[in-house]
Chains A and B, each alone.
Chain A
Amino acid sequence: MRGKSAYTGKIAAEIDRGLKTYARYRAWLLSDLIQWPFWTVFFFFSILMYSPRLLASQQLINTLAWSFFSFVFVSSFLWAASSIVVEAQQGIVESLMLAKTSMRLHLVGRTVITVLDIAVGGAILLLLSSLLFGADLTVAHPQLFIAAVAVAFVFFLSFTAVLSTLLISVKSPWLVVSILQFVVPFSSGGIPVQLLPPDAARLISLSPFFYAIHPMVASATGSFYIPPQTLFTTATILTALMTLASIYAEKILVRKTLRNGKLAMF
């Protein structure tokens, strides 16, 4: 098999790998069912500590619910980055290189788990936000929301690939991911920018991650910090740049590995 059919076959194989991994390790599902209700409680009370009367504002509660959903989204993607590090240590990444399979394509398999995590975790978080805190889950702009999720998916898949190449040289990738999973979403719209002091909001709107996260939250709640057209155009451009960055990062990694041959050593 060559060309397009080989590429399709590889993607199908990766999706199959992801589904099998998820089905084999039931701890994933069990963990999703237990951890997300607790994270939901944690996120809401972290903000409510300052102002319990926040519960009276329907718009704010809706915005918080969708902003916290972005945490599920980003966190699930970032953990995929550490999977590549483990595979590098197992020698799988070197085999991928020999088979001329791109690491980004290989990440699709792990992304299946990510998507299932988001589906289960995100649904739990949103439902509990509605049940416990009264969030209204009606999506204000459904079509824009689908587009925003698609853009965020490609953006974070590419970012995960870039991060993977950086984490390979770190001995304790989990330490970085444990913290980055909070830093990335919450510095980029995971806490609604409308709730922040104006200067902080402006600063956050400079983050490239903001343009991947805010379109999801804004199209769900209908509250845009930046006009939708500008937001989506910038998001698309940044996603394209992130994809290019992931290709470039992988090329550097391959070149470095072929020269040093130390990928599986740690």
Chain B
Amino acid sequence: MKSLEKFLAVFEAEMKAYVREAGPLVFMASFPFFFSLLTYGVGSVLSEGQASPRDWFFQLIGFSVMTISITMASATAWYFRRGMITGRLEYTMAAPVNPIIIALASSLAHVAVALMSFIVVGFVGVLSVYGAAHLLNLTAALLLVFIALLPVVGINLVVGTLTIVMKEPEPISSTVSAVAAATSGFVYPITMLPTLLQLVGKTLPYFYVVETARSLIDGYFEATQLTNIFLMLAYLALGLAVYRLGENYYARKVGVHW
């Protein structure tokens, strides 16, 4: 019970910090519209008006999940970097709270914020392409996207640990974002890629987040997709293990000062 209270306290503090930053959050939610409309414009010109609104919706959802992935990786890397600069990370690790609880609570706050932007994008997109009848599908999609994002939290815990080791957040989060963006089928079908890149995409959780979102909104979902999402949860376990390893090594032996 005490662990739950601690978890909620950290979660609440992180959420408050995000709410204070309403401007960037609005920015985050509007970005997928901006980019997808731009590429749709190019597509319309290139295909001489043959680009369909469904193509736009495909990219809208893709850019939305991509924005979520990029900002989550970036936020985690900077969370650790700022913690190192200010000394907060050492206090966090020395506090009588399991560091895993702190890491999980702040990561889940990122997921919750990401979902808020997904709701805005999904709502407008579904309404304009599919109509109000599909809004119920969006609700189902939200639930599964939440679960599908948990493995991404695992990857971000690895990003955080690597930030501590390398002491530079941007190169690490940008690299993860680039690999995820190119191979996960965010804005083009993964089948367009060479086999090797398709394989990379299918071993990472991002592909399943965007695939789940699209298929549920479209009104179909197969049992294998659910199996894949649960298999991907191994990334969360891996992330927690790597984080624990990094925390043990850096908090107890080396120290995480800047």
Contacts and interface: CB of A to CB of B under 8 A. Distances in A.
Interface of A: 25, 27-28, 30-32, 34-36, 38-39, 41-42, 45-52, 54, 79, 82, 86, 89-90, 170-172, 174-176, 178-179, 182-183, 186-187, 191, 195-197, 200
Size bracket of the B interface: 35 or more
Q: Please name the 4 residue pairs, one residue from A and one from B, whose CB atoms are nearest each other, closest first.
A: A50-B43, A31-B171, A35-B178, A38-B182
Nearest to B55: A50
A50 B55 CA distance: 8
11 contacts: A27-B172, A34-B178, A35-B179, A38-B181, A89-B86, A178-B70, A179-B27, A179-B28, A179-B67, A183-B31, A196-B45
Q: A-side binding surface: helix, strand, loop or mixed?
A: helix
A38 B174 contact: no
A264 to B, nearest CB: 10
B178 A191 contact: no
A197 B74 contact: no
A49 B171 contact: no
A174 B74 contact: yes
Contacts of A89: 82, 85-86
B107 to A, nearest CB: 15
Contacts of A200: 38, 41
A175 B167 contact: no
A63 to B, nearest CB: 11
Nearest to A195: B42
B78 interface: yes
A25 B168 contact: yes
Interface string B168-211: 11111011011101110001110011000100000000000000
User: Among the interface residues B40, B67, B171, which one has the most CB atoms of the partner chain A within 10 A?
Assistant: B171
B182 A27 contact: no
Interface of B: 17-18, 20-21, 23-25, 27-28, 31, 34-35, 38-47, 51, 55, 59, 67, 70-71, 74-75, 77-78, 81-82, 85-86, 166-172, 174-175, 177-179, 181-183, 187-189, 192-193, 197, 258
A27 B171 contact: yes
Contacts of A38: 178-179, 181-183
B24 A170 contact: yes
B174 A31 contact: yes
B192 A48 contact: yes
User: Among the interface residues A28, A36, A41, A178, which one has the most CB atoms of the partner chain B within 10 A?
Assistant: A178
A54 B18 CA distance: 42
A183 to B, nearest CB: 6
Contacts of A47: 39, 42-43, 46
Contact of A31 (B38, B43, B78, B175): B175
Contact of A42 (B42, B43, B174, B178): B178
Contact of B27 (A28, A51, A175): A175
Given A90-B85, A172-B24, A50 B46 contact: yes
Contacts of A182: 31, 35
B188 A49 contact: yes
A125 to B, nearest CB: 11
